[in-house]
Amino acid sequence: MSSDPFLRPAEAHDAPEIAPLILMAGGGVYEFLLGGLVPGAETVDMLVPGIAGRSGSFSHRQMVVAESAGRVIGVAHAHPTHWMRDADRSFIPADRIAHLAAFDSTQDWDSYFLSALAIAPDLRRQGLARHLLARVYDRARDGGYDRVTLHVWADNAAARALYAAEGFTEAAAAAIPWHPRLPHRGGSLLLRRPVPAA
Ligand SMILES: CC(C)(COP(=O)(O)OP(=O)(O)OC[C@H]1O[C@@H](n2cnc3c(N)ncnc32)[C@H](O)[C@@H]1OP(=O)(O)O)[C@@H](O)C(=O)NCCC(=O)NCCS
């Protein structure tokens, strides 16, 4: 890959640029979970402190970014799946958590989890997502994991094409019901692939 764009570990000061990309990757799930919980705050702004922080699964330390011309134009966010078991969700309304219960019931808790992957719309189809995925496989291997998993909305054709090209296969279907605030058809799919040899 040439020197621009280039990949690097995320830093705390990237958080305001990373947050909109994380929202994009979620396909509405962060807005569904967090929307309206802090009066006057946009969901995107609610993500920034966690990304800027040094601890927890949501920290920038679990992210790799693509940078071009001084701008963060892509992100991959990944960590051991079981870290999500300890996440504090006590501030999220119980009905919102319950609506997404199928995410948890389909997880492969011993895998390495790709939580988010997004590229700025104007820079897609240049292989950047594949480069970021290669970094995720490296991190998974370094952590001693033999497989990577992720959830993708069944109606996200671009992402499904990418993951199929990368060798991911369907491991489970998470029946997340359609909701006016999360209008996806077909629920979510848990995809899995082995970590490639170094
Ligand atoms: C999905 C996404 C990350 C792909 O990023 P990208 O940098 O454009 O992907 P790449 O250029 O690395 O694509 C690699 C391969 O994936 C497949 N692919 C990627 N986007 C595709 C699309 N829109 N349609 C069909 N195939 C696609 C192709 O096989 C492609 O190879 P090719 O360009 O040589 O044909 C990007 O579209 C995105 O950010 N979408 C919004 C966020 C999102 O949905 N994230 C995934 C959440 S699970």
CB 24 within 8 A of CB 118: yes
Measured in whole angstroms, the distance separating CA 179 from the mean position of its chain's CA atoms is 21
* Residue 198 or 20, more confident: 20
> Percentage of the chain surpassing pLDDT 70?
99
Give pLDDT, residue 1: 54
Residue 193 above 60 pLDDT?
yes
Candidate from 64, 73, 124, 168 with most ligand 1 atoms within 8 A of CB, to mutate: 124
Torsion sign across C-alpha atoms 180, 185, 186, 192: negative
Domain 6-194: homologous superfamily in CATH = Gcn5-related N-acetyltransferase (GNAT) (3.40.630.30)
Is the pTM higher than 0.95? yes
CB 53 within 8 A of CB 11: no
Q: Give the Å distances, CA to CA, from 72 to 5, 18, 135, 143, 151.
A: 9, 7, 16, 26, 23
SS3 195: coil
Candidate from 1, 23, 119 with most ligand 1 atoms within 8 A of CB, to mutate: 119
Domain ranges of the chain: 6-194
